[in-house]
Amino acid sequence: MTDILRIVIAPLVWLAAFTTVYALHGLVCGHAIGGMPFGTISVPRLLLVSAYALAICAQIILLISLYARRFATQSEFVRFVSRATGWTALVATVWTLLPTVTMSHCL
Minimum CB separation of residue 106 from other proteins in Å reads 5
Minimum CB separation of residue 31 from other proteins in Å reads 7
Output 65 or 96, the one with its CB closest to other proteins.
96
Give dist(CA 36, CA 57) in Å, integer.
25
Minimum CB separation of residue 43 from other proteins in Å reads 15
Minimum CB separation of residue 59 from other proteins in Å reads 13
Output 65 or 73, the one with its CB closest to other proteins.
73
Applying CB under 8 A, the residues found at the interface with other proteins are 1-4, 7-8, 11-12, 14-15, 18-19, 21-23, 25-27, 29-31, 48, 73-78, 80-81, 84-85, 88-89, 91-92, 95-100, 102-107
How many Cα atoms within 13 Å fall on the side-chain side of residue 40? 0
